[in-house]
Chains A and B, each alone.
Chain A
Amino acid sequence: MSKIEKLSTKQKEAKTKCVHTIALAGNPNVGKSTIFNNLTGMNQHTGNWTGKTVANATGYFEYRGETYKIVDIPGTYSIMSHSEEEEIARNYICFGNPDSTIVVVDATSLERNLNLVLQITEITDNLIVCVNLLDEAKKKKITIDLEKLSKILKVPVVGVTARNKKTLNSLLKVMRNACEGKEKINQIYQIQYQEKIEKAIEQVKQIINKQYKIQEKLARWISIKVLDGEEHILKEIEKQLQIQLINNTEIDKVKKEVLKALEKEGIYQEELKERIVATIVKDAEEIGKKVCKFEKEDYANRDRKIDKILTSKKYGIPIMIVFLLLIFWITIVGANYPSQFLFSVFGSIQEKLIEFATYIHCPEWLSNMLILGVYQTLTWVISVMLPPMAIFFPLFTILEDLGYLPRIAFNMDGFFKKACCSGKQMITMCMGFGCNSCGVTGCRIIDSPRERLIAILTNNFVPCNGRFPFLITIATIFIAGTIGGIGASIVSTIAVIFVIILGIIMTLVISKILSKTILKGMPSSFVLELPPYRKPQFLKVLVRSIFDRTIFILGRAIAVAAPAGLVIWLFANIGIQGESLLTIIANFLDPLANLMGLDGYILTAFILGIPANEIVLPIILMCYMQGTSLVNMEDTFVIGEILRQNGWTILTAINVMLFTLFHFPCATTLLTIKKETGSWKWSAISFLIPTVCGIVLCMLTTLVYHVFCL
């Protein structure tokens, strides 16, 4: 705790002392966040999910006695169109008044990156080009003449390898000079459009200059925007600068005139836009040719070879399944040991707590309520949730860092398109296997709001880490148990895989239904970069996945588990006429449960298990054993005996597995859905959809079972 406090006071101090502001811009996947983290010493929670900074992240750092504020703006290919990230990026560079803007570019694809650099040169003079990933470029035998680039652009250019902290020193030096006005910039590179277009820009600019006092460069940029008629950009400029551009009679008049003149030359407004973009791209191409040297023309050969295998018709999907199964297997098996360890540590603390309570003569009901109710449930959730997440997320982040996730989206897009959604949903589903709440947050990578919402609402259809062990236990006892021997583990594995596949099919079906009903629409375009493969940064992966994901989710789970523990204890211990509340509720739910081939206790356990799916089985066992606190049992054989004694059949087992897959999301996920969509309405819908599916499916199987077996 003290460390966090120290940091936060340090941050506060930094804020008050801050003198210089730096913006950090660049294409996606160029290592902006790595630079950001290395400069700010990773004190910042960047909120970075699968390669995407969704809002500006702000951090502070000191260099040579001065404090700098650094703003990491979303990664974009361009700042000319109207997607959410581009708007945030554009607004900050234009109107955030940073002392300097660092544009991070990827040395391995400099040409495309220069496109953004040139667009930014149209807005500000104060920029530094930071060529990152020089190590990757070296591997691919690409050399870049940084000095020449600096001469052409007339801005400072620094080459770095961001993952190596030392190389950032040169960037810091240049940045400091730039902030203190020591980097003398005479005349920054200016894009020259065709003469006719330049003339048109000049005419509009004159009017703007006449009406408003705006800096020369900005006036030129605004003139271009007036001409290409992107109204939302103009509106934003109006708002920020308190000027009027739309419905401004003088500007409108000149605009009409020059557009007419251009039309006479054969350039219509639609084409004008394209010519402007094309000029920038061509300029970038030319500069790229001047400064880059490719010793090997086929520098991407290794990547293409890997791609050919990982996305092939024959092996693409099997390899993907093997990768994912491997991750789940390592997670489930590996989490057992730390889980047991945590259980025993918390267990011995629990004994001490009980002793202490007796020692201070705490009334028994109170100590039981707090220790057996609140404490036990809380530590239970931590013991079962922390280890799998701490294993799953680093593994998953490694796949992400390698560059494999976009390939998964690429492989699966065909199937998702048929369901009117995006292949990127597959990535969020994979995250959902780890934790549905994380999966829901991960849906930010999907651009189209409609498709993002579908992905959020259906994420719960894949079983998370909390549900896997339960599924495996039931499958082992009831489906494989009848066989025995080596065959048993194979059969139970197949059963679990079958459940997963069912979940994926349901995801697609429900996505399709949603697309045809409440979230009507066609699949939007799917333009996805498949970035070069990169070596993952293991340490950073570990830190990022533990802090950004694991701790974060655990915090939310704990917030729900503590009060839930109290409620569960109260239900098990408060009774009317000798019957506990739990039994009363279970009896009440019994008729519905019987229709679903379950019993009232099972349904009650699912409802009380809302803080975390991990505690459903312990609650069921608690009910059956007439206990008053959660029951931890390792031996599947004993569990099986208890369940059978309480009337479980193969039908019960199948229905429990189905309902585990299809029921309301846990409280943490519901909270996250509210956070991500901004409305409880969507949380409610995401609660209802799987629950209704589960109830209907269970009723169907029960019906079929009774028709055929009785």
Chain B
Amino acid sequence: MKEKTVNELKLGEIGIVNNIIGEEGIKRRLLDLGLIEGTNIKPVLVSPSGDPRAFEFRGSLIAIRKEDAKNIKIK
């Protein structure tokens, strides 16, 4: 079974982060923002062109593009 990513979350739906894969730089930046295993993440905004979306986690609002968000796996 394919793992779910945050891209599959609907607006307002909360997911719990499992792990982040992919390139080191972006992975590190997301970790630095506190996106570790067990973090609640919720997409709340979509940009007018559909991508990126803005996610709420740990009290901040961070815009992430689809290509990067697909590396954020959720439980």
**Apart from the given pairs A312-B48, A313-B46, 10 other A-B contacts in the complex at a CB distance below 8 Å:** A81-B29, A112-B60, A115-B34, A300-B56, A308-B45, A311-B48, A414-B48, A414-B52, A423-B52, A527-B62
Give A301 Cβ to nearest chain B Cβ, in Å: 11
26 inter-chain pairs at a CB distance below 8 angstroms, sorted by A residue, are A77-B29, A78-B28, A78-B32, A111-B59, A112-B33, A112-B59, A307-B44, A307-B54, A311-B48, A316-B48, A317-B48, A410-B45, A413-B47, A414-B47, A414-B50, A415-B49, A423-B52, A525-B26, A525-B67, A526-B52, A526-B64, A527-B33, A527-B64, A529-B63, A530-B62, A531-B60
A residues near B63, Cβ cutoff 8 Å? 406, 409-410, 413, 526-530
Interface positions, chain B 33-75, Cβ under 8 Å from A, are 33-34, 36-37, 39, 44-52, 54, 56, 58-65, 67-68
- In the assembled complex, A278 has its CB within 8 A of some CB on chain B: yes
| A311-B47, A530-B54 known; A278+B62 contact, CB < 8 A | no
Q: Chain A contact residues: over half helix, strand or loop, or mixed? A: helix
> Is A80 positioned at the interface, with any CB of B under 8 Å from its CB?
yes
Distance, CA A303 to CA B52, complexed state (A): 18
CB < 8 Å: which of B44, B58, B61, B65 contacts A413?
B65
A312 to B11, CA, bound (A): 13
User: Which chain A residue has the least Cβ–Cβ distance from B11?
Assistant: A308
Q: CB-defined interface of B20-36 with A at 8 Å, one 1/0 digit per residue?
A: 00010110111111101
A residues 469-527 in Cβ contact with B at 8 Å:
524-527
Q: Using C-beta atoms within 8 Å of the partner chain, give the interface range for chain A.
A: 35 or more
Interface string of A307-321 (1 = CB under 8 A from B): 110011100110000
> With A109-B59, A316-B48 known to touch, is A417 a contact of B31 (CB < 8 Å)?
no
Which residues in chain A, 75-107, are within 8 Å of chain B measured between CB atoms?
77-78, 80-81
A412-447 CB contacts (< 8 Å) to partner B? 413-415, 417, 423
Flag if B26 contacts A311 (CB, 8 Å).
Answer: no
A530 vs B63: C-alpha distance when bound (angstroms): 7
Interface residues, chain A, with chain B CB atoms under 8 Å away: 77-78, 80-81, 108-112, 115, 274, 277-278, 281-282, 284-285, 300, 303-304, 307-308, 311-313, 316-317, 406, 409-411, 413-415, 417, 423, 524-531
Q: Closest 6 A-B residue pairs measured CB to CB?
A: A414-B49, A78-B32, A525-B26, A109-B59, A278-B36, A316-B48
Bound-state Cα–Cα, A82 to B29, Å: 10
Contact check: which of B37, B60, B65 meets A109 at CB < 8 Å? B60
